Structure 1
Amino acid sequence: MKAIGGFLGDTGFALIANNWKVLIMILISFVLMYLAIVKKFEPLLLLPIAFGMLLTNLPGAGMYNAELFADGHVHWEMFGGKGNITPGLLDYLYLGVKLGIYPCLIFIGVGAMTDFGPLIANPKSLLLGAAAQLGIFLTFFGTRILFGFTPFEAASTGIIGGADGPTAIFVTSKLAPELLGPIAVAAYSYMALVPVIQPPIMKLLTTKKERMIEMKQLREVSKTEKIIFPIVVTAFVSLLLPSAAALIGSLMLGNLLRECGVAERLSKTVQNELMNIVTVFLGISVGATATADIFLTMKTIQIIIMGVVAFGFGTAGGVLLAKIMNLFLKNKINPLIGSAGVSAVPMAARVSQVVGQKENPRNFLLMHAMGPNVAGVIGSAIAAGAFLTLFMR
């Protein structure tokens, strides 16, 4: 009977009584799985995140131990057997996040799937992509002023406005790793809600006449231009902001594999097998950081609130700059493509197309919107590099 009593006392069901908050986290993980599977909210990453959240909050499983990464550092001596903690599976997988490996590998895959042709054909769209990063910096100052976030926490929260999950994870893992779970969940949830968040803002800031503007077909971009572009961007951005070199270099390496024409096998591999494997590891690892003590706080609510603010201002920044540019341009830009400056590729560009075609069935904005869209990927990486340069000293 004593042995049976000891067995029952060691079960997860009994341990829940000692920390009821884990039950709430398990329920939250179920909700996120529902959103990923049934509602299809960014399922490729939200589902692994939700499952990682479930695993890390199972009492007694010991799959993730935050003590191994306390104070923002990896305590390698504990991995070697020192101390009374036995590293779990998720601890080892999380090293790929903590060391910045997974986000960079994801960026190689993103680069291989991205066509920078629309951006090269219309360089002005680079300005729209830059303007859409307004949400990142306004949110940075907003969280500092309104909620008293530290510069590290504010930078990590602000990067949500770039609508780029891997970049948000990369920055947060460096500056505020304790907030990785809430920020990742907020970032990917809002990315999935781009078709809901953006259209009201786009319509509010534009007139019907502006939304009906038809744009000329983009010029054809040569293969030579597409090959030179990733090389030049890598060199220029990395010299300007060395902290952004890892993200920009990974993105442009993937794109060079796509465009060079001599590495088709590698291009297909990073687009498919590598991307899929890393997505699973990244999602589970990020979900593992969403423990009850970190997630069930007022700061999580504040992050979720400021995340949608970041998206809103990012959308508005691109639209408003397009309207300003139209004051000086002979060939007018449809301001709707400015909203695609957030780097949710290609979802934001599709939203521009859908909203524009509702006003004018002859409007085909998708390729024009892809210019600011891919520029936004570069812009969010540069913003990440700026934050890392400022605060990682």
Structure 2
Amino acid sequence: MLDGLLSFFQTTGFQAITWQMLVMWAIAAALLYLAIAKGFEPLLLVPIAFGALVANLPTRGVITTDRLADGTSQSAVFRIEAQVLPEPTSPPATDESSEKLKLRVERVEGGLYDFISQGVKLELFPPLIFLGVGALTDFGPLIAMPRTLLLGAAAQLGLFITFMGANLLGFTSKQSASIGIIGGADGPTAIFLSNKLAPELLGAIAVAAYSYMSLVPLIQPPIMRLLTTKKERVIRMKSLRKVSKLEKLVFAIVVMIICILLVPDASALIAMLMLGNFLRECGATERLVKSAQNEIINVLTIFLGTSVGLTMQAETFLAPATIKIIVLGVVAFGFSTAGGILGAKIMNWLSPHNPVNPLIGSAGVSAVPMAARVSHNEGQRYDSSNYLLMHAMGPNVAGVIGTAVAAGYFISTLGH
């Protein structure tokens, strides 16, 4: 009976548990706490945290690494190799040929996320997420106040400062670019760029990007207060004009053409973003818009989040490089927030007769619409009747476009 229990125990996963796995369980629990108890971007953090937990369990059929005949570990192969059966007159199969047949059969075994994670590896999920973002976002505030496009550009400051800082810390140029994009507070773009330039850092970068996106209400306000005066925080901006449907449709087409001509490597992100927005504004595709806003983006968020979480295996995540990425990520995010605010202050210095509230500059990062809400809420702390939300949506939308363009620039200069 004891032998039977020992034999059964050897078939379980308990003996495969390591202290590194236990640490990752704690990290997954912390992410779940932030998402559920604190409400920090639960739609993103819950799938990521759950995927991270699964990644650090001795699973079978979820994350595939097959044991081949020689004992080495290989990624699963997603095709069945054709076998030609020997003719009846052929000599019987040797042990060697039987071993080859066995090896091929073993390599056919795959797991659930072997297939789902192809959406990340083949760069399908991020552009399709952008389709949903475009369908959910009103570009009207940016069109009504085009100069806020400059605030979205100024908020890319953190990307390039962090790129240089990561280089100084020993990361390669491709890795540095992937780390710097965290400053854009745009998870899909961070995944898109990292998958192209530094796939070995995908898990750490994605988790940092989404974590800082969820922590926008905690990270940005202290920077906003530090860089603005009370007088600047209560600036009232002129009401935005009403933007026509034709303007919105033309804007989507023109911006798509210009951005793709400038940075062809960002085509997938920009095209899907503008397609989603065009569907929203044209008024003739209501069913498609609802699908992009709900079913498509919701399903993709589950798959993208868990796929990212599954890259957080302890042996790769618990490394000194990961700590550097987490630190550099918050530096990137801080400088991007500061860049948008300082850009607004410079704009006011150049045009004092039509000032903008510098608080909306912090919305130049890509966390739509959370960053815009933070700008609005911070303004109301000092003037409860000052409504900045729609004004802040201009630089917020510009930040989405700016981060995608910056990613395309990095890919075009470093990825070829």
TM-score, normalization by structure 1: 0.94
8 Å CA contact 1:37, 1:43 repeated in 2: yes
Given the alignment, which residue of 372, 389, 392 partners 2:412?
389
Q: Distance in 1 between matches of 2:344 and 2:59?
A: 55
Q: What residue number does 2:374 align with?
A: 351
Q: What residue number does 2:155 align with?
A: 132
> Aligned letter for 1:30?
A
Q: Distance in 1 between matches of 2:275 and 2:382?
A: 39
Change in CA separation of 1:93 and 1:374 when aligned onto 2, cut-off 3 Å? same
Q: What residue number does 1:26 align with?
A: 25
Cα deviations by residue, 1:69-121 (Å, 9 ceiling, x for unpaired): xxxxxx99822254855321111111000111011111000000000000000
Larger Rg: 2
SS of match in other structure, 1:359: coil
Q: Distance in 1 between matches of 2:258 and 2:313?
A: 40
Q: Distance in 1 between matches of 2:23 and 2:179?
A: 23
Q: What residue number does 1:334 align with?
A: 357
SS of match in other structure, 1:361: coil
8 Å CA contact 2:134, 2:272 repeated in 1: yes
Q: What residue number does 2:86 align with?
A: none
Given the alignment, which residue of 368, 374, 385 partners 2:397?
374
8 Å CA contact 1:9, 1:15 repeated in 2: no
Q: What residue number does 1:37 align with?
A: 36
- The alpha carbon displacement at 1:295 in A equals 0.5
Hey, which bits of structure 1, 4+ residues long, moved more than 4 A?
Answer: 81-85
8 Å CA contact 2:66, 2:106 repeated in 1: no
Given the alignment, which residue of 276, 280, 286 partners 2:308?
286
Structure 2 residue 206 is matched with structure 1 residue 184:
yes
Q: What residue number does 1:46 align with?
A: 45
> Aligned letter for 1:391?
L
8 Å CA contact 2:65, 2:75 repeated in 1: no
Q: What residue number does 2:216 align with?
A: 194
8 Å CA contact 1:238, 1:248 repeated in 2: yes
Q: Distance in 2 between matches of 1:116 and 1:62?
A: 43
Q: What residue number does 2:9 align with?
A: 8
Q: What does residue range 51-70 of structure 1 map to in structure 2 within 5 Å?
A: 51-65=50-64
User: Structure 2 regions of 5+ residues with no counterpart?
Assistant: 68-73, 81-103
SS of match in other structure, 2:77: helix
Q: Distance in 1 between matches of 2:111 and 2:75?
A: 14
Q: What residue number does 1:151 align with?
A: 173
SS of match in other structure, 1:118: helix
Percent of pairs identical after alignment? 62
Structure 2 residue 226 is matched with structure 1 residue 204:
yes
Structure 2 residue 325 is matched with structure 1 residue 303:
yes
Q: What residue number does 1:220 align with?
A: 242
Structure 2 residue 95 is matched with structure 1 residue 94:
no
> Aligned letter for 2:5?
I
Cα deviations by residue, 1:280-328 (Å, 9 ceiling, x for unpaired): 1111111111111111011111111111111110011011111111112
- The alpha carbon displacement at 1:3 in A equals 4.3
Q: What residue number does 1:72 align with?
A: none
Structure 2 residue 105 is matched with structure 1 residue 104:
no
Change in CA separation of 1:356 and 1:48 when aligned onto 2, cut-off 3 Å? same
Structure 2 residue 298 is matched with structure 1 residue 276:
yes
Q: Distance in 2 between matches of 1:83 and 1:184?
A: 34
8 Å CA contact 1:22, 1:59 repeated in 2: no
Q: Distance in 2 between matches of 1:77 and 1:333?
A: 55
User: Structure 1 regions of 5+ residues with no counterpart?
Assistant: 69-74
Q: Distance in 2 between matches of 1:9 and 1:66?
A: 19
Cα deviations by residue, 1:310-352 (Å, 9 ceiling, x for unpaired): 1110011011111111112121111111111001111111111
**Aligned residues, how many?**
384
SS of match in other structure, 1:148: coil
Q: What residue number does 2:100 align with?
A: none
SS of match in other structure, 2:242: coil
8 Å CA contact 2:64, 2:75 repeated in 1: no
Q: Distance in 1 between matches of 2:65 and 2:405?
A: 30
Cα deviations by residue, 1:99-148 (Å, 9 ceiling, x for unpaired): 11011111000000000000000000000000001111111111111x21
